[in-house]
Structure 1
């Protein structure tokens, strides 16, 4: 949760410094602008706030299992994510998009810390809150790198966030194929593991 707090704080700080024109800058992710990128990551704050703890056993073993389940939706799932980001961005002004990473994010983090990290029901299935928080760390990290590609020098991505994102992505990767690719040996298609 501390790492997620740091990342959401970075999103807040960068957003406060964005010029009006930068909100319309292409993000490099399809037709998304910086505005849609903010909406996509910011929806994670609201989504996390809406999760309800349950007595269920986890269906998903870890953060990689969450992404593996969503990856199974293919192009249809990707378009649903893109449409949700566009709709969220259209319904909120820049102040609201940035504000999601301030007060609402602080409340979500405080609530999770106060109630523990039990099992919650997500769109991919029931999982431990600590594993779900790691999915938000990956999203915030990957998309912060996307943001920095078009708004260079805005902030440093914390090394622990990069490491945790790599861990999740490595868990999504066929180990033998990854080893072959990483050591310069012939391998089948390994990447991308998450799109």
Structure 2
């Protein structure tokens, strides 16, 4: 029995190690993605900031302001409640956001207006600073956490883990980086790890049967888009 206990403990320890390696890889991918935002920002002129994107009502500056909320959120994350309950996964949070009555639909106009106002108030120099100064500090904070550490996710009225929170932030940062590159007429040059992690999370959000059947051409029923 003692040997079985040792095996079980060893498996749990190995599982925790694997989970933490994945978390570190995702933080590294986020760091690389935010660094790309910083490099692009350094090259932008006034006209570039005003370039319209494929996100209706958002120009490049608004995209920067929107994604720029995430470094601030990491640096000012509220502590989890004393009895946090079951942590939500990234897929569960995003499914809720993107449900027909979810935040992504019901508050779309408010989010868009907020991004436009924030871009105007912050200005190009402030938007650049978010990704040259605030983002590296946020990454340093993420590296002090373990992936299994719990963090409050107020918009979902619950908690998640830092590992799952980083997946959401990486997805948002990657999807909108593609929006910025498209708006500027640039090639979709994004870190491969960021693309892979984003694709994996999107696959988790989808109903697995619907995704498989649509991807293999076995049904015409649409499964996309998964996010607004």
| Residue aligning to 2:132 | 102
Q: CA deviation at 1:4?
A: 0.8
The reply on whether 1:48 has 2:74 as its aligned counterpart is: yes
Query: Residues 136 and 51 (structure 1 numbering): CA distance in 2 closer, same or farther, change over 3 Å?
Result: same
Can you give the 5+ residue segments of structure 1 that lack an aligned partner in the other structure?
none
| C-alpha separation in 2, matches of 1:154 and 1:23 | 17
Partner residue of 1:26?
A: 52
Alignment of 1:106-185 (within 5 A): 106-117=136-147, 118-122=149-153, 123-124=155-156, 125-153=158-186, 156-185=189-218
**Distance in 2 between residues matched to 1:53 and 1:111, nearest whole Å:** 14
What RMSD in Å do the two structures reach over aligned CA positions?
Answer: 1.7
Bigger helix share: 2
Q: What stretches of structure 1 move > 6 A for 4+ residues in a row?
A: none
Q: Distance in 1 between matches of 2:144 and 2:213?
A: 44
Seen in structure 2, the aligned counterparts of structure 1 residues 104 and 154 have a Cα distance that, compared at 3 Å, is farther
Q: Counterparts of 1:74 and 1:102 in 2: how far apart (Å)?
A: 28
Rg (Cα) greater in structure:
2
SS in 2 for 1:30: coil
> In the alignment, is the contact (CA less than 8 A) between 1:14 and 1:155 conserved in 2?
no
Is 1:5 the counterpart of 2:31? The answer is: yes
Q: Which residue of 2 aligns with 1:59?
A: 87
Task: Measure, in 1, the Cα distance between the counterparts of 2:46 and 2:95.
Answer: 37
TM-score (norm 1): 0.92
Partner of 2:15 in structure 1?
A: none
* Equivalent residues, number: 194
When normalised by structure 2's length, the TM-score is 0.79
Report the equivalent of 1:193.
226
- Alpha-carbon distance, 1:155 to partner: 7.0
Q: State the distance in 2 between where 1:98 and 1:79 align.
A: 25
- State yes or no: 1:84 paired with 2:114: yes
Structure 2: unaligned runs, 5 residues or longer: 1-26
- For residue 115 of structure 1, report the CA deviation from its aligned partner: 4.1
- Measured after TM superposition, the shift of residue 74 of structure 1 is 4.8
C-alpha distance in 1 between matches for 2:224 and 2:216: 15
Per-residue deviation, 1:154: 6.7
